[in-house]
Structure 1
Amino acid sequence: MTQSVVVQVGQCGNQVGCRFWDLALREHAHVNKKGLYDEALSSFFRNVDSRGSDRGAGGTIQHLKARAVLVDMEEGVVNQLLQGPQRELFDSMQLLTDVSGSGNNWAVGHLTYGSVYREQLVEQLRRAAEHCDCLQCFFIIHSMGGGTGSGLGTRVLGLLEEEFPEVCRIVTAIYPSAEDDVVTSPYNSVLAMRELAEHADCVLPVDNQSLLDIVSRITLMAQGSKPGPVIRSDRTLISGLGGDAGVEKPFDAMNNIVANLLLNMTSSARFEGSLNTDLNEIAMNLVPFPRLHYLVPSMMPLYALADVSVPSRRLDQMFSDAFSRDHQLVRADPRHSLYLACALMVRGHVQLSDLRRNIQRLKPSLSFVWWNQEGWKTGLCSVPPVHQSHSLLALANSTGLKPTFMELRERFCRLFRRKAHVHHYLQVEGMEQSVFLEAEASLHSLIEEYHQLDTTKMADAPRLNIAT
């Protein structure tokens, strides 16, 4: 079985990663009753015995180490992790921290810390890769609004392309909401997007506003459930209770949703199934043009993230929900989207015939680009999430992201027209005003490519021709 490495950068990246490792361990423990180190565990964990050497699959679990690299220019989150239940999952060779942070400044993270820690980053990434027998993918988790996540996170992404050009790079990028309290977040996001366009194979954009909306809906679901709901004993609920600290912290509920996204996306890499999907097949099948590699994630059923037992919705409804705005982790309008491709990754007790039947049922209501009418990628993992009979993760490459990116560009331009806060960036060695202009031009070009695709929905529109 192949292995993947998770690279967590910045406060947000490490908090989401923390929840992913917690939930992954719970899931494997639920399936692996005998406590044996098997191929499923080897996909994201190493087995280290008491003498400090690695053991292959088939032995009893001695000591698991996560296949991860943790980076943050503030020590707080990583120190909390090392003091919590997950402290044995990581050692000092997997960690890189500083004390002063990036001051919500992309240039400090990307240029200053990226240069200072370049060799250490490369060494840690190489070490993580060398522990893999068959390295398939790097998962990078970071935010777009802060300085370390956006700046150093995208610097790490560039280093991965330099050092491991043949290994797939899948990014989970957390975008700030329009009401974000970091005034420079539009700058950081747009500057980071230029790097994502150049160095990522696939990007899963997740925005804070969508996460907040989902948290509100799940809370209402829990409060509106029938009398006598069953509280789950392991407390793996949306609030994050039962996680590292045992008490609810800000953003725990939102981080838990993103962690579940990663959990479902990697299920085929961790467990057997009748129609497993390799992680590198996602980029291969869903990204027809290099720059248009943003995939809208949707998760079903949402009620499963709450800590109450509610009646299961019909299987067919789960597939319909996949194309509902309420289930998307980023704001995009599926009703007015042109689909380039779509993946449906199903877990649990679902038959292949159910999967095919629902695709045929949904096809007439979805607008697919004319040259890829059969652009569906399907996966079927036999192991369902804990406490669920089935689940569905949809990853859609569509033009529905264009309004979201247009709004981000407008917030960037409103600041940059007044040159507000620009001097903080220009004080960083290597940063010039032209970098802002190039980043804005890159985002504008991306929006134009989506717009050209949208015009193909018109009967008299010329065929699109985008050079690769």
Structure 2
Amino acid sequence: MTQSVVVQVGQCGNQIGCCFWDLALREHATVNKNGIYDESLSSFFRNVDARVGGGDADISKGKICSLKARAVLIDMEEGVVNEILQGPLRDVFDSKQLITDVSGSGNNWAVGHKVFGCQYRERIMEKLRKTAEHCDCLQCFFVIHSMGGGTGSGLGTFVLNVLEEEFPEVYRLVTSVYPSGEDDVITSPYNSVLAMKELNEHADCVLPIENASLFDIVSKINQIQSGMPGTTVKQRSLITSSEGGIKKHQEKPFDTMNNIVANLLLNLTSSARFEGSLNMDLNEISMNLVPFPQLHYLVSSLTPLYTLADVNVPPRRLDQMFSDAFSKDHQLIRADPKHNLYLACALMVRGNVHVSDLRRNIERLKPSLQFVSWNQEGWKTSLCSIPPVGHSHSLLALANNTCVKPTFMELRERFLRLFKKKAHLHHYLQVEGMEESCFTEAILSLTSLIEEYNQLDATKGTPMQEPPRLTIAM
């Protein structure tokens, strides 16, 4: 069994990570009712025997002593991490897994990347190495961060660089939360574009998530809750519940938004945590979905997004679940993949679903989807027999699709509106090692990425003998 390590950076990264660990524990508790430490649990948790100085307990003896998450929590403001340590998950983490400061990064990528990066480099490397040493077969690092703030964007991408240097053979999968156009952090376009350059160069795969899209999904769930007579969303539904980690007196939209992203990670890692008739190795995502190194941004969609509490309402048909996964209403960025070009697509199914159901739906949907001519059969599939808590089945679709381009183009426009006026630039340039050329290089990197997608879009409907010769990232 392989193991993975989750690296949570910044307020957003730690809040999503907290939801992930809470929901993962609930899933494992549902499956493993006897509380026996097994290979499934070992993929993301250590079994620590407190009686022998905190060393790993013998897995052959089975019984749980104390579960510790395979995680490193980093934030330059200690508030969120302190809330986690005082909440229901306090025993899942210890001080050896945490790096915090009190000052914060001031919504400045340069402070997070260059100031705190240099200041905490050795401590970050030490935490990562010790966490990796507790893995028998380390397969993947999951980095969770936001793009708009200073710590998430700056220190988050710094951590990515450290991972590439220290563990070059270990897969780096990044979940990046992008700010909306109405974001209250005025410097978020700078932070996001500077971070994008690092993601282009140092990530194996990036799952971009837009706050605006998450908010749209939460609004739809609320409409269903209030708009269908006699029908409500289950309060203990996996998506809408926020019982773990950080408790609030009143649930806020961000709680549900964080749960949606956490559920994305649960589905993504289900094959690594549970058995199935058609398991997908995490490394296969990059191998099968990224034909060109720089085009490693995967659009994700999740279905179902809620569970109806009224048992008299018939569950959605399985075929509808597959249709929803390709609908723009279920995408975690504001995009419509059906009207754009697919390079490849992965379908990760959980629950009582048969291979025949999977094949039938792929054949049914294929005529409505545009794939590049040189990869018409670019499908990757997995089947995990364990459904999410509260659902009979679920589907995560990952698409390498040119529909991500408008998100990047909008980000570029927001960046240029600030940069042309040199607005707020002095906050960055006063940081040692930060020059105006850093901004120029970052926007050129983003423009180059957009041009790669433009080249692919230009081939829509045109048969090709070979793939277009895109720029290869070195």
Normalised to the residue count of structure 1, the TM-score between the two structures is 0.97
Partner of 2:260: 257
Cα distance, 1:333 vs structure 2: 2.1
Is the contact made by 1:237 and 1:307 (CA closer than 8 Å) also made in structure 2? Answer: no
Name 1:435's counterpart in structure 2. 438
Asked whether the equivalents of residues 44 and 67 of structure 1 are also in contact (C-alpha less than 8 Å), the reply is yes
**Deviation digits for residues 309-328 of structure 1 (CA, Å, limit 9, x no counterpart):** 65311101111111110000
Give the conservation status (yes or no) of the 8 Å contact 1:221–1:303.
no
Question: Among residues 210, 215, 219, which one is paired with 1:216 in the alignment?
Answer: 219
Task: Tell me the distance in 2 between the aligned counterparts of 1:242 and 1:22.
Answer: 5
Mapping 1:367-406, distance limit 5 Å:
367-406=370-409
Q: Does structure 1 residue 78 correspond to structure 2 residue 81?
A: yes
Change (3 A) 1:308 1:13: farther
Partner residue, 2:158: 155
Shift of residue 221, structure 1, vs aligned partner: 1.5
Determine helix, strand or coil for the equivalent of 1:294.
coil
Give me the whole-angstrom Cα distance separating, in 2, the residues matched to 1:114 and 1:420. 25
Aligned to 1:2: 2
Structure 1: gaps spanning 5 or more residues = none
Q: CA distance change for structure 1 residues 111 and 228 in 2, over 3 Å: closer, same or farther?
A: closer
Q: Distance in 1 between matches of 2:329 and 2:409?
A: 21
Q: Is the 8 A contact 1:261 1:299 kept in 2?
A: yes
Question: Which of 47, 57, 60 is the matching residue for 2:59?
Answer: 57
Partner of 2:342: 339
1:235 positional shift: 6.5
Q: Secondary structure at the match of 2:386?
A: coil
2:41 corresponds to 1:41: yes
- 2:438 & 2:368 partners in 1: Cα distance? 42
Cα gap change, 1:245 to 1:151, in 2 (>3 Å): same
1:50-96 C-alpha deviation (Å, 9 max, x unpaired): 22221233411110000000000001000011111111111111000
- Is residue 464 of structure 1 aligned with residue 468 of structure 2? yes
Q: 1:142 aligns with which of 142, 145, 151?
A: 145
CA distance in 2: counterparts of 1:64 and 1:369, whole angstroms: 46
Secondary structure at the residue paired with 1:303?
Answer: coil
Q: Distance in 1 between matches of 2:244 and 2:84?
A: 14
Q: How far did 1:185 drift?
A: 0.2
Give the drift of 1:461: 8.0
- Which amino acid letter does the alignment assign opposite residue 244 of structure 1? I
- SS of 2:173's equivalent in the other structure is strand
The answer (yes or no) to whether the contact 1:9–1:153 under 8 Å persists in 2 is yes
Q: What are structure 2's unaligned runs of at least 5 residues?
A: none
Partner in structure 1 of residue 12 of structure 2: 12
**Aligned-partner residue type, residue 277 of structure 1:** M
Query: Which amino acid is 1:401 matched to?
Result: V
The alignment's TM-score, normalised by the length of structure 2, stands at: 0.95
Question: Could you tell me how far apart the structure 1 residues matched to 2:39 and 2:226 are?
Answer: 40
Work out the CA distance in 1 between the residues paired with 2:202 and 2:193: 15
Distance 1:291 1:227 in 2: 49
Distance 1:19 1:170 in 2: 18
3-state SS in 1 of match to 2:383: strand
Q: What is the total number of aligned residue pairs between the two structures?
A: 466
